[in-house]
Structure 1
Amino acid sequence: MARFNYGPSKAVDTSIATWFCSNFDVGHSWWRLDLGDGRYIHKIDILPRSHPTDAFAFRDVEIRVGTTDLSSGDFTSWTLYAHYMGPYTVQGGRLLFTSYEGIPGRYISVQRGMNVTEAALKILDFKVYVRIH
């Protein structure tokens, strides 16, 4: 779910001057990527927005991989790829999560693990390194 002009495509547009921003009034903020086909996901590289007003916004984040199309915001049936407790700070740089064997899936979600409505999920850049099934 996105607000204003900070839609999901802003996280994968090759620019770190734009970003995805979820709605503020929805708990468990989330973002989902459809790879189009099944892949083995080997590395996920996330650059959260680190503006001073975003202090503690990127924390308790689950990254999940799935094979079924879910758009409800509940991705708990998907495989947990990584959990980032955070909070993120600019000194953290890019967050890298790897799986040597790779996790099979078509969809990737990034979701807040807690019901927090005072801070939105903000992603500047998102990269995925895959191998075709």
Structure 2
Amino acid sequence: MNGRVMIFLYLVSWTVLFPLRSPLVGAMMTPIITPSKCLGIGDVPIPTSAVVIPDDVYMAFPSKEHQAISRINCALRAAAGMGLAYLYEGNICTVYGAGEYRYGNNTFFVPSEIPPVDDLEEVAQLKQTYASIHFKGWHKDFAVDGIFGPQMYHSENGIIRPWWIVDLAETRTIHQVQIFTRQDCCSNRFHDIQIRVGNTLDSSGEMTSYTLMSTYDGPYVLGQGHVICSLFRGVTGRYLGVKKVSGDGDHLQLLEVKVYAAKKIS
């Protein structure tokens, strides 16, 4: 293989593995945001510091451990070994299902759902909120008061597509949103939810200019725990909105909303 071919393959491999930075232009490129699906925490394993791996991967596929100096090094090992998933902890890289996940000439593996927990911080508690008209005394601020019930934000009767927004007070890169909805009754009301992030306040609640981060189809089932919405690359903005997009008139009921953003580098 001549030198030109080797350089070309290197550049293609680098671009596939690290799509946010291209060595050809030497600058960060604007990522295309693909919304994630929110799930009840009972439906998925709790994230580790490196990767969310479905239970069936643990059960069905063998694992192999390697020494690795970084998470990127671990990812490269998973890619080279055609692994289905990888886990990096304490300089040990565990590759699951090596040689099992291949489509044509392409290799896929499961990246981290969110950055390590230590790299995130909760940024919504006690911040300014905005919302559709509330029912009785259950106003918008209850959703970020840090108290898990019985008070909550509860939209007024008859509101179509109710919404709620929190102002984070500054622009942050959001990687995860955790939503705790009403637990004493009416769980089926929580469905057809969108999580959106924007840079300006949309007091109309339409949020059409906001980036769609995640969606939750529902309906929510009691005992499911909280709803978790994660996006590895994150979405940058100052305002985070939760909105029901179905036109059935069901209430929006938010017991608590937690927003996790990347810690600021001091």
With normalisation by structure 1, the TM-score equals 0.92
Report the Cα offset of residue 50 of structure 1: 2.6
Q: Does residue 153 of structure 2 align to residue 46 of structure 1?
A: no
Residues 36-79 of structure 1: CA distance to partner in whole angstroms, max 9, x if unpaired?
10000011000111323x14100001110111111101012211
Q: Does residue 192 of structure 2 align to residue 60 of structure 1?
A: yes
Distance 1:116 1:51 in 2: 21
Deviant stretches of 4+, over 4 Å: none
- Tell me if the contact between 2:168 and 2:238 (Cα under 8 Å) persists in the aligned partners: yes
Q: Which runs of 5+ in 2 are unaligned?
A: 1-131
Distance 1:130 1:84 in 2: 20
Q: Which residue of 2 aligns with 1:123?
A: 254
- Alpha carbon RMSD of aligned pairs, Å? 1.4
**Residue 217 of structure 2: which of 85, 92, 96 is its match?**
85
Q: Which residue of 2 aligns with 1:29?
A: 162
Distance 1:114 1:85 in 2: 10
Secondary structure at 2:146 match in 1: coil
- Tell me if the contact between 2:187 and 2:222 (Cα under 8 Å) persists in the aligned partners: no
Secondary structure at 1:9 match in 2: helix
Code of the residue aligned with 1:9 in structure 2: it is D
Structure with a larger share of its residues in strand: 1
Code of the residue aligned with 1:125 in structure 2: it is E
Q: Does residue 174 of structure 2 align to residue 73 of structure 1?
A: no
Distance 1:43 1:65 in 2: 12
Q: Which residue of 1 aligns with 2:232?
A: 100
Percent sequence identity is: 32
Report the Cα offset of residue 3 of structure 1: 2.2
Structure with a larger share of its residues in helix: 2
Distance 1:108 1:62 in 2: 10
Secondary structure at 2:223 match in 1: helix
